[in-house]
Chains A and B, each alone.
Chain A
Amino acid sequence: MKRSNQPVFWLLFGAGGMFSALVGGMLVFITGIAMPLGIGLPTDALTYDNLLVFHRHWLGKAFTFAVTSLFLWHGAHRIFHSLHDFGVPARGASAIACYGIALAGTVAAAVALLAIGF
């Protein structure tokens, strides 16, 4: 019997869903609302130097890599199955489009984080 590849995608969906459910809202608030408007945070909280130091540490790299890639895999898997609910066959083009975008984003995040250096 051919093994299904679905558990891998489901695991990434679950991990991204849990991560985004736990801290996603606060991340959106911090980067998109609190920092620009200066609510509880200085408007220059996200400085280049601070974030460079943060991302040169492996822990910072891991955090940002996990957030970007897992959020993408979570969304890709959910959109893929919702497309099926709307009558798009759950294979072929829609699988390549959904998981392809998540994979491309994961590679882009990895390349950028490695380019930042250690």
Chain B
Amino acid sequence: MARRPYVRTMDGWWKRDAFFMRYMAREATAIFVVIYAFVLLAGVVQLARGEAAFAAWVAALHSPASIAMHVVLLAAFIYHTYTWFEIMPKTMPPIVVAGRKLSPGVITGAGLAASAVLSIALLLVVRALAS
């Protein structure tokens, strides 16, 4: 009878290494992005249904449970933003400037700076439209 070779199980493989843990944390942000997409989808559907339906959606956003959930969502989105630009040097084609490859730090920094500028611009536009 043939000996059964030892096969290392794959169960919980991502808990074995801090690098894999960070990978899974980064991938898990997708769940929160989907949740927020559904919050906004509910809003636009309620907007189409009329004033009363839309008021119900806004009232739901004012509930303490919703605010608590959005604090969690915000943390996940900030982590997503950070990791998205952290891995961008590896996911985008290399950019060559003056014969040298653009350094990963410059790419990550430029992405984070673009996010900060666009986010502030978005807040200012919403403020202007709301007042």
Interface assignment of A93: CB less than 8 Å from any CB of chain B? no
Chain A residue at smallest Cβ distance from B84: A21
Interface assignment of A62: CB less than 8 Å from any CB of chain B? no
Interface size class of B (residues with CB under 8 A): 35 or more
Q: Are B47 and A116 in contact (CB under 8 A)?
A: yes
Residues of B within 8 Å of A28, CB to CB, are 36, 70, 73-74, 77
Interface assignment of B69: CB less than 8 Å from any CB of chain A? yes
Q: Are B47 and A78 in contact (CB under 8 A)?
A: no
From B37, B62, B77, A67 is in contact (CB under 8 Å) with B37
Chain A residue at smallest Cβ distance from B131: A42
Residues of B within 8 Å of A35, CB to CB, are 61
Task: Show the binding face of B for A, using Cβ within 8 Å.
Answer: 10, 14, 24, 27-31, 33-34, 36-41, 43-45, 47-48, 51, 54-55, 58, 61-62, 66-67, 69-71, 73-74, 77-78, 80-81, 84-85, 91, 111, 114-115, 118-120, 122-123, 126-127, 129-131
